[in-house]
Amino acid sequence: MPIVVSGVVLESQPLGKNHLRTTLFSPGGLITFFAKHGQTLLCSHREALIPVSLGSYTLNSSPTKLRSLAHAEIRNNFIEIKRAYPLLEASGKMIRALLISQWREKPSPKLFSLFLNFLHRLPQSKNPRFFSAIFILKLLQHEGILDLSPTCSLCKKNLSNGPCYRYQGQKLCKNHAHTEAIVMEKEEEQVLHAIVHAKQFYELLKLTDFPIAIADKIFYMLKTTLHSETVSKFT
C-alpha cells in the first residue's frame, strides 16, 4: 500500500546505470527508497531527489524489497544554500551527522523540525560552519549523550571555575580525562552551555559571531561519541 512521506533528501547514491538509492530524513526518521531512472531525463521528479531538497514522496512498499518511489513533489529546493559553497558545506556536515546517528525509520519529529529550521536559517548565518556545529551540539543534546552538569561525570568534582575535558559525551576532570579527550576552556564551556540553553534562533545566530572558535571541538565530540556508541549500528 502506498504511503506519502514529507522529508528532506540527505543523499542519493547511484544504483546501476540509471537508478538511485535515496535516503531522506522525515518526522518518521531515516527512510531509504529506490528511484527508477532517477539518474536520467526520463525521471520527471529528478529535482526532488537532489540532496538538501524538501519534498513530498509517495512510496510503494514491499515486504521483501526496498521501498520504491511512485511520485515526488518538491516543496523547497533551498537554492540559496546550493548556490554558496560555505552554506552547502555546512549543510553537508549536518546531513552526515544525521546519517550516522539516526536509526532507520525511528520517529524523530522534534529532531526533524530542528533540522528543517536550521536549513531555513542557515543562509542568515555569518559563520555557516559554526552554525552547523551548533546543530550537531543540539543533536548530541537531543540524543541524551551530552553531560551538562557542573561536575566530573566520574568523581563529581566541581569544574565550574576552570577547564574541563570532554570525551564520548562525558565531562571530565584532569585526573579522569581519557587520553583522547579534548580540553574545553572555561570560556568555551560557557559558550557550549549558552548554545544548549538558547530557546530562540536569533540567539543561536548571534552566538555564531562569538570570537571563540569551538566548531572543531564540537565536530570532534560528535566523532568520539558516535565511535563508541552508534557507528557499529550502521557498518
Around Cβ 105, how many Cβ atoms within 10 Å? Answer: 12
Q: Where in the chain is the domain with CATH 2.40.50.140?
A: 3-77
Q: Where in the chain is the domain with CATH 1.20.1440.120?
A: 84-234
Contacts (Cβ under 8 Å, ≥6 apart) of 201? 117, 121
Tens digits of residue pLDDT in 100-109: 999 999 999 9
Residue 25 pairs in a beta bridge with 8, 30
Residue 206 above 90 pLDDT?
Answer: no
| The 3-state secondary structure of 57-89, one letter per residue | EEEECCCCCCEEEEEEEEEECCHHHHCCHHHHH
* Helix %, strand %, coil % of the chain (to 5): 40, 25, 35
What values do phi and psi take at 88, rounded to 5?
-65, -40
Contacts (Cβ under 8 Å, ≥6 apart) of 85? none
Q: Which three cell numbers stand for residue 136?
A: 550537531
Specify the CATH architecture of the domain 3-77. Beta Barrel (2.40)
pTM of the model: 0.90
* Largest Cα–Cα separation, the chain: 63
Residue 178 above 80 pLDDT?
Answer: yes
Tens digits of residue pLDDT in 57-66: 999 987 668 9
Give the C-alpha separation, 105 to 150, whole Å: 35
Tens digits of residue pLDDT in 210-235: 766 789 999 999 988 875 444 443 33
Whether residue 52 contacts residue 78, with contact meaning beta carbons closer than 8 Å, is answered with: yes
The class of domain 84-234 in CATH terms is mainly alpha
Residue 150 exposure: Cα atoms within 13 Å on the Cβ side:
5
Give the C-alpha separation, 84 to 70, whole Å: 31
Tens digits of residue pLDDT in 116-165: 999 999 999 989 999 999 999 999 999 998 999 999 999 999 998 889 99
- Average predicted confidence (pLDDT) for the chain: 91
